[in-house]
Amino acid sequence: HRRFDYRPKTDPYCQARYTFCPTGSAIPVMKEEDVIEVYRLQAPVWEFKYGDLLGHLKIMHDAVGFKSSLTGKNYTMEWYELFQLGNCTFPHLRPGMDAPFWCNQGAACFYEGIDDAHWKANGTLVLVTTISGTMFNEMAQWVKYDNETGIYYETWTVQASPDKKSTVWFDSYECSKFILRTYQKLADLGAVFKKIQTNYTSIILFSGEPVYLGNETSIFGPQGNKTLAAAIRDFYSPFKPHQSVREFFVDLFKIIDRVFLNHQFYLFYNLEYWFLPMKSPYLKIIYEEVPLPVGSKASFGV
């Protein structure tokens, strides 16, 4: 996943149904001698609206919690879409604009408190490691860098087949990937993780070798490829600016239908368009184990 020099300003056209990070705060500086517990948090996506429905599909949202032993304060850190999932997954076709218009950014959100009931009810709240205040402060610097340079949300993982060792053409970049990067950073700083099973959701498309098509200018600009531009617009045409999760799923199934019938998918990744020659089983939601990391340097715990 490509890193960018800065985060672009958001276009006023992009409106979020739910405010991004409404109670967010700056990450505090911890005292070096503090001992901070680190918690793995996981619960079904959109649980506040649909109960455990998506838990049965194992579509989970991941976060990380911290508890300071010096102050007793709890904190939650997560990474998610600025304009909700539909906007990160599909573009808007706006009147008078040739190119599909993307409202796609993801970012980290940090706030005081851990909503124990939310994470425990249908999910997970479990201690994974303990770190020092110094390690927490170093992690906070890394979060700032990660947040300023990894700006686009990517829903799909694209790989050649369901086989474990299959080629991964494109990797997703979403909430769980941020948590995995955070754990890895802590491990590299010396955190020692407990030996517990940790599973994550991936939404995978299966495709033959992707074909590079170009960027917005080369396809939709004045010298662009009119036939290709029309094909991409047509592919995305079932999607409307999403008002509800239910409508998002209706649209999603329309596009899945096209994928199954025509074996085609147009992917927008790192500001470039790719054609995916889709193949069976086309799409899978998997919930599989990703082990907690081992540090890159010898460490002796805290």
Average pLDDT, consecutive stretches of 10 residues, N- to C-terminus, the chain (302 residues): 84 85 93 97 67 56 96 96 82 90 93 91 91 97 94 93 93 94 96 93 93 96 94 86 69 78 90 94 88 69 41
Residues in the chain: 302
Same domain, 123 and 192: yes
Of 179, 199, 219, the one marking the end of a domain is 199
**Residue 195: per-residue pLDDT:** 92
Same domain, 47 and 194: yes
Same domain, 151 and 51: yes
In a domain, 252, yes or no: yes
Same domain, 176 and 216: no
- What is the phi/psi pair of residue 116, to 5°? -50, -45
Please tell me whether residue 69 adopts helix, strand or coil conformation.
coil
Same domain, 194 and 122: yes
Same domain, 217 and 192: no
> Which residues contact residue 278 at a Cβ distance below 8 angstroms, ignoring those fewer than 6 apart?
205, 206, 207, 208, 259, 263, 264, 265
In a domain, 4, yes or no: no
> For residues 155 and 85, is the Cβ–Cβ distance under 8 A?
yes
Same domain, 71 and 181: yes
> For residues 43 and 69, is the Cβ–Cβ distance under 8 A?
no
In a domain, 185, yes or no: yes
**Whole-prediction pTM value?**
0.88
**Residue 71: per-residue pLDDT:** 97
**Six token digits for residue 170:** 């494109």
Same domain, 81 and 42: yes
Same domain, 155 and 251: no
The one-letter code for the residue type at 22 is P
**Residue 300: per-residue pLDDT:** 45
In a domain, 275, yes or no: yes
**Six token digits for residue 166:** 């299959």
Which range marks the domain in which residue 100 is found?
35-160+169-199
In a domain, 23, yes or no: no
In a domain, 27, yes or no: no
**Residue 57: per-residue pLDDT:** 59
Same domain, 48 and 76: yes
**Residue 62: per-residue pLDDT:** 93
Number of domains in the chain: 2
Which CA distances in Å does 168 have to 76, 186, 206, 210, 267?
Answer: 31, 26, 9, 11, 14
Q: How far apart are CA 245 and CA 298, in angstroms?
A: 46
Same domain, 270 and 177: no
In a domain, 15, yes or no: no
Q: How far apart are CA 198 and CA 75, in angstroms?
A: 21
- Residues annotated as catalytic (active site), given as ranges: 61, 175
**Residue 36: per-residue pLDDT:** 98
**Residue 2: per-residue pLDDT:** 79
Same domain, 62 and 185: yes
In a domain, 18, yes or no: no
**Residue 241: per-residue pLDDT:** 64
Q: How far apart are CA 197 and CA 259, in angstroms?
A: 34
Q: How far apart are CA 99 and CA 126, in angstroms?
A: 45
